[in-house]
Structure formats: C-alpha cells, structure tokens
Amino acid sequence: MNKRQLIICSAIICALVILSRCISKQPAGGDMRGPQYAAANSCESCHKAIYDSYQSTAHAHTSGLANAQTVKGTLTAPANRFVFGNGTEVVMEQQDGRLYQAAYSNGALQQKQAFDIAVGSGRKAQTFLYWQAGKYMQLPISWFVPANSWANSPGFPADHPKFDRAIPSTCFGCHSSMVGIKSVSAQGLEMQEEFEQNKLVAGIDCQRCHGPAADHVNYQTEHPQEKTAHFMAKIGALNTQQQIDMCAVCHSGLKPMLKPASEFKPGDALADFVMPTAPFPTSRIDVHGNQLQLLAASKCFTGSKQMTCSSCHSPHKTERENMQVFSQRCMSCHMAGSPNFCTLKTVPAATLQQNCIDCHMPATPSSAITLLTNGKQSPTPDSIRTHWIKVYKEVK
C-alpha cells in the first residue's frame, strides 16, 4: 500500500469512527444533534435583534426543504425548462403540492424526480436534491441568478440530463447544521452512507457557530437576573487563529475531512478536521470557497497580527452590497492622509473612501462553477469577489 492509499484509508477509518459515534448519540426526539443542543428558537427570546437580523443572511438559508416558497427559480412556462444538447428537455412541474424535474425526449417522459432539499440561499444560485433509497441525489438542473435562468447543475454535462450523482455528507457539512445519517459502511476505499429522509437542521444556525447551547439556555432561564453569559463560548475571547479556524472549516476549499465539519465547536483547531493538502500558487486558487487561502496571501492579512474574518464581516447582518460599510473598515488601517492610503490620484480621496472593494477585491470568474444555459456558454459567467486583497494592474 502506497502513502496516498494509506492516507485515504486512515481518513475513511477516522470518518467511520466519528460518524458512528455521532449516529449513536442522536436522541429519539428534540434536536437531532443531541440533548446538549437547545431548541432552535431558544436564542430569539434574549437575542431577538441579532436573531432577526441573522434570518436575512445567506448562511441562514444555505439549505432547507424544497417547495414552491423556498425554490427561487422560475416555475412557470416558458421559463421553467432547460433544453440539453441532445434535445432532451427538463421541465419544472408541480403536482399534488410538490415540485418535480421531469425529463422528456421527443415528448416522452424519461425520468421524473421530486425536489426534496434546496441547497444554496438563492443569492447566487440554488441546486436541488432528491432522496432515493437512503441517498441524496442531485437533480440535473439548478437555478443560476447571474444568468436568470435554469442551467445544468455545476459539473454536470450539458448534452444530456444526469440524475445519478450521489451527494455525500461532506456537502451537508457546510450547507447545513446537521444531516441525519442512518448508517455508514466502507466498501473498498469508498464510504457508503445511508441518510434519513428529509432529516436536516437547515442552514447554518446559531449553535453551529456558537456551539451547543442547552446548558446556557437552562442556566439563563433559571437565573434571569444574571447578565453574564454562562456555559457558552465567548467568540471574542478566542485567539486570532481560533476565530479564523471557525470560518475556515467551510471557507478554505474542498478537502478530505478528518471529522465532519458539523462537529466543529468554537475553540477547535482546523487541523483536527481538515486533512492537509499540497498548497497551490495563489494565482491558481479558485475564488469559489477558498476565501482563507486568498486572504492569507494578502498583505493586509500577513501584516496584521489580529485580522480575522470578522474584522471585515459582521456575521449577523446582510451587508454584501454595502461597499461603503466595508470600505470604512478598510479605513481603520488605510486612513486618508496616511502612507497606507490609496495612491490613486485620478479620484478624490473622499470618493476613494466610499469603495475600496471593487478595485482591491474585484469580482472574479469562478472556474469551479460553469454556467451553461440551454447547452450554450452563458454570456454572464458566475463571478465571486476575490479575497486576495491587493493592487490590481487595471487600477494602478
């Protein structure tokens, strides 16, 4: 057995042990993650403003049950269909209150599967899963906002529909707070998982980032006069690396996992969850999902001893379109009149302070997500804002 095979086998064994332990502790009722987790709405009573604000974020809606209300794509004719290169047409249909993707060839039905799970908030895109015989399978058509159209799902062929791509629990690890797994078994070097149908803690909930809250909720409920939080991780008390690792478990690219991402707790180390891989040159790192690696290559990051993801991002708010808010955070280190301020002379300083982002973190096409609409390359490919902060040639 060579070194690569040994590493893969070790990862599979670790995953089997972790998952089997996770499965055995799931309670018959309550939160499927175990009794140490509080009810989903427990945070609202004491933290209503933050709780309500968070409900509008992409994290909160990155997965959920699929229905006519949660699916963002057009469900009415004629825009409710996609034509593959071989002429097969996939149509979005509604029947008995459920949504389906139905493939037709020369008018004859070839295959039809229901929408069960929606993955993605719909800000950029949504893809969909159906449950069959203990597995979640990805539907062939996804909704892409940049093209305002249905298109073949990422990585799927554009010449024919594909219904047989199984989705592993690792995908749910960053697109949900927990997915129900009934059993795990190893077949050779492959791990086979059996899921429980539609058993999901949808989205990234409060406890996914802040940790299990049952003890905290019970104590604070019994001691309403106590204003100091007990039995809850204080994110601000974590060191810089621990705070970065919290976000990096899902924002550092797709890598082999040593433990399920859903088990990550505040204060845990990323190295205990993600298997190390050979580094790529920064110029080859795709903007999709690799925010940590791109940020780590930035002088803003390497020159700071305290910069974390929350230095720029407020995780409880939707601020993505407010370039002025982000730019003001840049001004904490790049204030006007200082040697670190923008050197562009063709634009007034007051204007520069309104939007640092478009110049120094431009939206960049992702090679990981190919947008094809009706068998043709989309004229508006999906772009994601890079986290490699630097002076780009076009703005020198």
pLDDT digits (tens, 9 = 90+) for 337-367: 888 898 888 888 888 889 999 999 999 988 8
Give the up-direction half-sphere exposure of residue 249: CA atoms within 13 A in the CB hemisphere: 30
Predicted pLDDT of residue 147 = 82
Going by the DSSP 8-state scheme, the letter that residue 38 receives in this structure is P
190 or 241, which is more confident? Answer: 241
Q: How far apart are CA 378 and CA 391, in angstroms?
A: 29
Predicted pLDDT of residue 377 = 53
Beta bridge partners of 131: 136
Helix, strand, or coil here: 318?
coil
Predicted pLDDT of residue 396 = 46
Predicted pLDDT of residue 297 = 94
pTM of the model: 0.86
Predicted pLDDT of residue 378 = 52
Predicted pLDDT of residue 314 = 94
What is the residue-averaged pLDDT of the chain? 87
Residue 2 has pLDDT above 80, yes or no: no
Residue 8 has pLDDT above 50, yes or no: no
Identify the band that residue 379 occupies on the pLDDT scale cut at 50, 70 and 90. Answer: very low
Predicted pLDDT of residue 368 = 76
Residue 327 has a CB neighbour count (10 Å cut-off) of 18
Question: How large is the average pLDDT for residues 223-237?
Answer: 94
Question: How large is the average pLDDT for residues 127-153?
Answer: 93
Give the up-direction half-sphere exposure of residue 176: CA atoms within 13 A in the CB hemisphere: 22
Q: How far apart are CA 104 and CA 140, in angstroms?
A: 13
